[in-house]
Chain A
């Protein structure tokens, strides 16, 4: 008994040991770091919210007394149905259709060129190319993606139109080609989205398990069969998502189309005429004298808001396709 007492004496707990929370520099730093990180993470969300708020107050409903927003002056019906866009003229028309038309004709040409080439390049890199070539091509594609879009626009204006489009379409086929035209803008836009399509599609193709390829070969497939009938369908969701993101980028692209396609709002499907996209209008209008508070100024927000909704819709669609059609491979 005496021995046990000696080993575990019944001493009271040490005074000064407190389990309650109290201030310490370590805890303060922990809280500080957390706040800074949260702030950075919230910044993009707050920016988006601020932009949406500006769109809404300038375009849809003004919260400042005594001022009106765009759609309080121009009816939504006029905006969507009028076939003319002339905010800077005396006879003002606010029909978004010509701008939408320009945007979609140019983005459409760009997609027709960029999507198939980008996908074909991705298939080549993922299925056919030797690893060495692939390692070399990846940075080259990134360089292509890194060229400023104003350079592409200039290239369209001083090279594509005079040395490619005019000799073929004007001299050979007798179709008038404006110096500013939708086709040259579409062509360079197509080149611009190739890296996006190629890089994202290649990731999707390479994520297809090797077992599926081997199964394809074991059934007597050629490389072409395996690539097109096994790997591409298996990577379908990723490929479609890359297409949608690329189209979204094409719709939002500004400088190249502004320079190459010109500033002439025109409701037409003739790609050899000058056209104006939504983005090009915004560049033009915000560069010129557009005093705050005027209807031209507010129209910038209306067009910007429309563009925002379209690209937002495309991105949501891309995400939905990704989730809906994704095959889960362990």
Chain B
């Protein structure tokens, strides 16, 4: 079981790093998102089967599983991004702080402002760095330039990008490197002042150095945000998450504290997956 040991090692290193940083418990137990019996369909095809899960506040929850297991679909169900897909429908309940987000009177635009999202491929708008970060506040009605500047600076600082771009905020965002673009997208998501941040494989298209920066950033951000991250990379899940959920073929197989899931998984399928026997 050397693979198990290496995961234990990773989780342990992370906890040491964390407790060195601040004296608070590793896992928060306040529930931010509560999903009950979610079934999700793309037209005829069912992508999620009766998934129930809670997501803890101010913690990192990672979703792992092989491609097509439903982890991205589940993530996108949490801010109703699937609404824009033709033929997608669901049943079940998704509660954000106790409120049903699929209720008919919910304004999906305000929901998405509170539940931000970062995608696998960085998607900077073909605008300046400043305008990219200011996009969210601007459409929310913030017109005051001084206020916008403050939000932009603060968001870029939180995304650990400020020092690299502060002298060229008016340059095109497309001129940034891949890793910088991804941090820009994180800054852009932070600028709308969300409390939940959904990340769909945010580092899978990045080189190792940029990946490490993004991981450090996620680690910083969980002090203030609830973070849900989909990842292909189990080491990444072990390094950064407090909770890990394993999806397989549209079912949630197991969700537990990251350390427990990687060291003493309850289900055979989980163990097979994390030890590399399939997927």
In the complex, which of the residues A131, A209, A219 has the most CB atoms of chain B within 10 Å of its own CB atom?
Answer: A219
Q: Is A62 at the interface (CB under 8 A from chain B)?
A: no
Assess whether B81 is in contact with A215, with CB atoms less than 8 Å apart: no
The A interface is mostly helix, strand or loop, or mixed, namely helix
Cα A327 to Cα B173 in complex, Å, equals 12
Kindly identify which residue among A131, A212, A218, A225 contacts B117, using a CB–CB cutoff of 8 Å. A218
In the complex, which of the residues B113, B116, B117, B139 has the most CB atoms of chain A within 10 Å of its own CB atom?
Answer: B139
Kindly identify which residue among A131, A212, A218, A222 contacts B125, using a CB–CB cutoff of 8 Å. A212
Q: Is A217 at the interface (CB under 8 A from chain B)?
A: yes
Kindly identify which residue among B121, B140, B189 contacts A218, using a CB–CB cutoff of 8 Å. B189
Q: What are 29 A-B residue pairs whose CB atoms fall within 8 Å in the complex?
A: A131-B86, A211-B119, A211-B123, A212-B123, A214-B117, A215-B117, A215-B188, A216-B125, A216-B135, A217-B84, A218-B112, A218-B116, A218-B117, A218-B119, A218-B189, A219-B112, A219-B113, A219-B135, A219-B139, A219-B188, A220-B136, A220-B139, A220-B140, A221-B109, A222-B109, A222-B139, A225-B139, A230-B135, A327-B174
Cα A220 to Cα B174 in complex, Å, equals 22
- CB closest chain-A residue, reference B113: A220
Which chain B residues (112-141) contact chain A, with CB distance < 8 Å? 112-113, 116-117, 119, 121, 123, 125-127, 135-136, 139-140
Kindly identify which residue among B112, B119, B125, B189 contacts A230, using a CB–CB cutoff of 8 Å. B125
Q: Is B160 at the interface (CB under 8 A from chain A)?
A: no
Cα A233 to Cα B126 in complex, Å, equals 7
- CB closest chain-B residue, reference A224: B139
- List B contacts of A225 (CB < 8 A): 139
- List A contacts of B121 (CB < 8 A): 211
Q: Is B79 at the interface (CB under 8 A from chain A)?
A: yes
Kindly identify which residue among B119, B140, B174 contacts A215, using a CB–CB cutoff of 8 Å. B119
Task: Give residues in A with beta carbon < 8 Å to B.
Answer: 131, 209, 211-222, 225, 229-230, 233-234, 236, 327
Extra inter-chain contacts (14) besides given A217-B112, A222-B139, A229-B139, CB under 8 Å: A209-B123, A212-B125, A216-B125, A216-B135, A219-B116, A219-B189, A219-B192, A220-B110, A220-B140, A221-B109, A225-B139, A230-B125, A233-B126, A233-B127
- List B contacts of A236 (CB < 8 A): 126
- In the complex with contacts A229-B139, A327-B174, A217-B119 CB distance below 8 A: no
- List B contacts of A233 (CB < 8 A): 125-127
- List A contacts of B86 (CB < 8 A): 131
Assess whether A234 is in contact with B81, with CB atoms less than 8 Å apart: no
- How many residues of chain B have a CB within 8 Å of chain A? 25
Assess whether A220 is in contact with B109, with CB atoms less than 8 Å apart: yes
- In the complex with contacts A233-B126, A234-B125, A217-B135 CB distance below 8 A: no
- List A contacts of B135 (CB < 8 A): 216, 219, 229-230
Interface flags, B77-90, vs A, CB<8A=1, else 0: 00101001010000
Kindly identify which residue among B116, B119, B136 contacts A214, using a CB–CB cutoff of 8 Å. B119
Q: Is B252 at the interface (CB under 8 A from chain A)?
A: no
- CB closest chain-A residue, reference B136: A219
Cα A236 to Cα B112 in complex, Å, equals 27
- List A contacts of B116 (CB < 8 A): 218-219
- List A contacts of B112 (CB < 8 A): 217-220
Cα A120 to Cα B4 in complex, Å, equals 58
- CB closest chain-A residue, reference B198: A218
- CB closest chain-A residue, reference B172: A327
